[in-house]
Amino acid sequence: MKRIVILISGRGSNMQAVAEACAREGWPATVAAVISNRPQAAGLAWAAERGIATAVVDHQRFESREAFDAALQQAIDAFEPDLLVLGGFMRILGADFTRHYAGRMLNIHPSLLPAFTGLHTHRRAIQAGCKVAGATVHFVTAELDHGPIVAQAVVPVLPGDDEGALAARVLQQEHKLYPMAVRWFVEGQLRFESEVVHHAGGAAQCLF
């Protein structure tokens, strides 16, 4: 059984989608813990109610990014993860941290990377006149929102969309995309070829 630790900062709907799919579909994996940098993160209660271990490493209690990263790493490694899943985890992670989890840390970002790294992705996509938007699951590297892409989901940007409407349409797809990608990882289906990620069985790495 692969051990998954999920990091959240808030609502945790992607965490829920992954944990529910893991249980429902009988993956060879277990969600060992959900860890938040915010004590009030709503997703913590959801996880605790389902008997998943939870922990908080509050970034406000640390004087430096390095000290926070080190404490977070210690909290995570206590659960001996095979895979670290970032689900709306809104802290930038340092190079030592990303190196420690290289090849075993996934993130979901609400844009079609490499477009729109960083924040306010939906607002920026609408302002740029994009006709499609989406989400990307990628391996995490030291460069923010830049690691090797595992899978992407595409949705239309419709006339009259505001940030909220587009975010909701993308989020629906995130809840399909992230479980799919995490399942591939725990089943050992992901292959690297010159920094490009392929599905070993040739599955389509995109959702429309």
Q: How far is the CB of 43 from ligand GAR (least distance, A)?
A: 6
Q: Closer CB to ligand GAR, residue 76 or residue 166? A: 166
Tell me the residue length of the chain.
208
Q: Assess contact for 135 and 110: CB atoms under 8 A.
A: yes
Q: Closer CB to ligand GAR, residue 14 or residue 73? A: 14
Q: Write out the residues near ligand GAR by the rule CB under 6 A.
A: 8, 10-14, 87-88, 108-110, 135, 171, 174
* Dihedral class, residue 145 (left if φ above 0, else alpha if ψ from -120 to 50, else beta): left
Q: Closer CB to ligand GAR, residue 13 or residue 141? A: 13
Q: Closer CB to ligand GAR, residue 81 or residue 88? A: 88
Strands of the sheet containing 105-109, edge to edge, are: 53-56, 29-36, 2-8, 83-87, 105-109, 132-139, 149-156, 206-207
Q: Assess contact for 33 and 52: CB atoms under 8 A.
A: yes
Q: Which long-range contacts (CB under 8 A, 24 or more apart) does 155-163 make?
A: 156/131, 156/132, 157/125, 157/126, 157/130, 157/131, 157/132, 157/133, 161/126, 162/126, 163/120, 163/122, 163/123, 163/126
Q: Which residues are catalytic?
A: 109
